[in-house]
A and B are shown apart, each in its own frame.
Chain A
Amino acid sequence: MLVTNINVIGANLFHSPLRGTIDMVMLFQLIAVAFACSVTLIIGKHIRVEILVTKLPQCVQAITASIISLLTLGLFVLIIWRLCVLGYSFQTGGETTATAHIPIYPFAYGVAFASIPVCLVILHEFLSSLARVIKR
């Protein structure tokens, strides 16, 4: 927001836009969103459909929660792995942003790193629901 406003003021008042604004906005957004994901997951802000599961018996709820957590964990493990591969390809290919020429590969590794807490949150959800299944 700050970068965009500096650019707006610079471009409109001083005819001197901030160089690389688009690159900076893109990269800030990437990092901010990636690192916010685990907290968003913890506070339950990701939209879920609640109509069916809440009507099922507690035991069935725990079993479905375990399966879903396991599938989600698998998805995020794949995401982390492939983001590292993507980061490596950016690194070896020397890919940079279009105008400010900022190297992109640290950001791909950064998003992969930010996904590790997401995996931990999902793993915790999986273990909790598994414990609920075993208790019953």
Chain B
Amino acid sequence: MSPVTTGIIGIGVLIIMFLLRMPIAFAMALVGFAGFAYLSTPGAALGLLARDIFEQFSSYPLSVIPMFILMGSFAFAVGISRRLYDTAYTWVGQLRGGLTIATVLACAGFGAICGSSTATAATMGKIALPEMKRYNYDDTLATGTVAAAGTLGILIPPSTVLIVFGILTEESIGKLFIAGVFPGLLLSLLFALTVYFICLRNPTLGPSGAPTSWRKKAVALTGIIETLALFALAIGGLFAGLFSPTMAGAVGAAGALIIGLARRKLTWQTFFEAAKDGLQTSCMVLFILAGATVFGHFMAISRIPFELAEWLEGLPLPTMGIVGIIVFIFFIGGFFMDAMAMIVLLIPIFYPVLTALNVDLIWFGVIVVLVGEMGVITPPVGVNVFVIKGIAPDIPIEKIFKGIFPFLYALIICTIILMAFPQIATFLPGFASY
């Protein structure tokens, strides 16, 4: 059997393993190991398995992931997310759908200190959903908004998905982070406009709240100072070249703890709970990366990425057309995989094609994150939707999926705008020094 045929069978077996509910990380390691053993020797594959796991777990570049995950966990534990939401509500609560717009803004704010979409959706869902229920907001709109706006967590820096993309493609994590700023703001605006227009057409879906005075609005602004300070410290330090990505994450996590101490919100219990949660999430991500490394070695020896690169390069299409095909494959993959899993599986396959075509990988990273965001809210594997279902168990899952569709259009529009105007993502990285 030729290496390419073996590789294709390996991908098929991997998909079957996924569908049979094997954890994605273990499935990639197992299939990668078996495929590598078949194409080289069992001895070589056995050596590769242990070494890949050991090297990924002890990789210093990957230590950026636990650091930024800890920063988000600590920020939630010390109540920064709650204060962000209160500020947003004070400012936009009196608009139609004010609570949902406030949720979008708070998710954007929390995305600036948390790098995970599920963590952002879970954090804001716990705060915003009871409030929206209290003000008789439509369940479909409320849950759909939180699930969709939670995805801002992986676009607005810091972003675990962009970190992993940067590691896989050897691109600067600082540049990738900063590239996500304008697209993140654009998407937040599109989400807020989506909510506003939905409620303009049908005001009963999101009744307006009580108006607040300008004095109250001004006072409420203090609620975002901590977020701005943390963002400026971690991402600003990274952007200015003061810190490496790992240092930026560690400084941000320490900053969140100091805020908690200053506000007397940090207890030993909250500290341990947040640290435990952060460690478990980091373990999950690093295991996926270890599994993907083993699988990536199998893919490399099967020559599939190189054959695919040659085939795509030979297509009578302009570069943008080929990139469009690749983005479409990511879009389809997003229906069945989490954003992180999709990136670790597909990037090693398409990386040779993208480099051969001289595609700006910083821009492509942002596009992939946008497509990944669609994946985490669309059925059948909409991770954020499942998170929201966990927070609001009384709301049928079909209702939540129905609620995300207007936001899916916003995501598609944002992706098209970014494909037409790549400068939105590539402008800021030109100034980054790290």
Which residues of A are interface residues toward B (Cβ below 8 A)? 1, 4-5, 7-8, 12, 22, 25-27, 29-30, 32-34, 36-37, 39-41, 43, 45-53, 64-65, 67-68, 71-72, 75, 78-79, 82-83, 85-86, 107-108, 111
Q: How far is the CA of A67 from the CA of B27 in the complex (A)?
A: 13
| A1 adjacent to B70 (CB under 8 Å) | yes
| A49 adjacent to B54 (CB under 8 Å) | no
B420: CB under 8 A from chain A?
A: no
| A29 adjacent to B51 (CB under 8 Å) | no
| A78 adjacent to B46 (CB under 8 Å) | yes
Contact indicator per residue, chain B 239-267, by CB within 8 Å of chain A (1) or not (0): 00011001100110110000000000000
Residues B10-33 near A (CB distance < 8 A): 17-26, 29-30, 33
| A68 adjacent to B250 (CB under 8 Å) | no
Within the complex, which residue of B22, B251, B284, B383 is in contact with A5, where a contact is CB–CB below 8 Å?
B251
Within the complex, which residue of A47, A65, A71 is in contact with B288, where a contact is CB–CB below 8 Å?
A47
If the complex has contacts A39-B280, A40-B280, A79-B49, are A30 and B26 also in contact, measured as CB distance less than 8 A? Answer: no
Q: How far is the CA of A27 from the CA of B25 in the complex (A)?
A: 21
Q: How far is the CA of A64 from the CA of B336 in the complex (A)?
A: 19
| B33 adjacent to A78 (CB under 8 Å) | yes
| B283 adjacent to A37 (CB under 8 Å) | yes
Q: How far is the CA of A130 from the CA of B253 in the complex (A)?
A: 44
| A29 adjacent to B49 (CB under 8 Å) | no
Q: Find chain A residues with CB under 8 A from B280 CB.
A: 36, 39-40, 43, 45
Quote the shortest CB–CB distance from A114 to chain B (angstroms): 10
Q: How far is the CA of A82 from the CA of B341 in the complex (A)?
A: 25
Q: How far is the CA of A54 from the CA of B124 in the complex (A)?
A: 28
Interface size class of B (residues with CB under 8 A): 35 or more
Q: Find chain B residues with CB under 8 A from A32 CB.
A: 66, 279, 282-283
19 A-B pairs (CB sep. < 8 Å)? A4-B63, A33-B66, A36-B280, A40-B283, A40-B284, A45-B281, A46-B23, A47-B288, A49-B21, A49-B24, A50-B381, A51-B19, A71-B30, A75-B26, A82-B46, A82-B47, A82-B50, A107-B58, A111-B57
| B53 adjacent to A26 (CB under 8 Å) | no
Q: Find chain A residues with CB under 8 A from B287 CB.
A: 33, 37, 40, 46
